[in-house]
Amino acid sequence: MERHVGNDRWTWTAIFLHWVIATLIIAGFALGEYMGDLAVSPMKLKLYSYHKWLGVTVFALTIIRLAWRAFHAPPLFPAGMPSWERLAAKAAHALLYALIFMIPLAGWLGSSAHGFQTVYLGVIPIPDLLAKNKELSDILEEIHEQLNHALLLIVIAHIGAAMKHHFIDKDDILRRMMGIKGQQK
Amino acid sequence: MKKLVALVLTTLIFIPGALFSAPVVKDKSSIGFAARQMGVPVAGSFKRFDADVRFDPKDAGKGSASITIYMDEVDAGSDDGTIEIKRKPWFDVKGHPKAEFVSTSLKELGPGRYEVAGKMTIKGRTRGVVAPVTVKKEGGLWLFEGAFAINRLDFSIGEGPWANTGTVDDKVEVRFRFLLPATDKK
Ligand code: HEM
pLDDT of A25-78, one tens digit each? 999 999 999 999 999 999 999 999 999 999 999 999 999 999 999 999 999 999
What is the ipTM for the molecules in this complex? Answer: 0.81
CA B181 – CA B186 distance, rounded (Å):
14
Residues A40, B42: C-beta atoms closer than 8 Å: no
B151 SS3 class: strand
Determine the average pLDDT of the residues in A159-173. 96
What is the whole-number distance in angstroms between the Cα of residue A170 and the centre of ligand 1?
Answer: 17
Instruction: Using an 8 Å CB-CB cutoff, list chain B residues near A35.
Output: none
Atom of ligand 1 nearest to the CA of A69: 41
pLDDT of residue A182: 67
CA B59 – CA B63 distance, rounded (Å):
7
DSSP secondary structure letter of residue B39: T
CA B12 – CA B17 distance, rounded (Å):
9
Residue A22 CB less than 6 A away from ligand 1:
yes
Residue A174 main-chain phi, psi, to 5 deg: -70, -45
Contact criterion met (CB below 8 Å) for A26 and A55: no
pLDDT confidence bin for A8, thresholds 50/70/90: confident
> Measured on CA atoms in the order B31, B131, B110, B65, is the torsion positive or negative?
positive
Q: Spell out the domains of chain B, with CATH numbers in brackets.
A: 18-181 (2.40.128.110)
Residues A123, B80: C-beta atoms closer than 8 Å: no
**Environment class of B20 (CB within 10 Å of its CB; exposed 0-12, middle 13-18, buried 19+):** buried
Instruction: Tell me the CA distances in angstroms from A89 to A6, A16, A98, A100, A154, one per residue in order.
Output: 17, 20, 14, 16, 11
Residue A96 sits at the vertex; the CA angle it makes with A93 and A97, to the nearest 5 degrees, is 90
Q: Spell out the domains of chain A, with CATH numbers in brackets.
A: 12-176 (1.20.950)
DSSP secondary structure letter of residue A167: I
- Where do runs of H (alpha helix) occur along chain B? 2-14, 79-85
What is the whole-number distance in angstroms between the Cα of residue A176 and the centre of ligand 1?
Answer: 11
pLDDT of residue B20: 55
**Burial letters for B121-134: b for 16+ Cβ neighbours within 10 Å, e otherwise?**
bbbeeeeebebebe
pTM strictly above 0.90: no
Contact criterion met (CB below 8 Å) for A107 and A146: no
pLDDT of residue A95: 98
pLDDT in tens, chain B (186 residues): 555 555 554 544 444 444 456 788 888 999 999 999 999 999 999 999 999 998 888 888 889 999 999 999 999 999 989 999 999 999 999 999 999 999 999 999 999 999 999 999 999 999 999 999 999 998 889 999 999 999 999 999 999 999 999 999 999 999 999 998 876 543
Residue A177 CB less than 6 A away from ligand 1:
yes
Residues A49, B80: C-beta atoms closer than 8 Å: no
Query: Which residue has the least CA distance to atom 34 on ligand 1?
Result: A93
pLDDT of residue A121: 97
- B176: how many CB neighbours lie within 10 A of its CB? 24
pLDDT of residue B56: 86
More reliable by pLDDT, A144 or A7: A144
Asked if residue A3 has pLDDT above 70, the reply is no
Contact criterion met (CB below 8 Å) for A58 and A100: yes
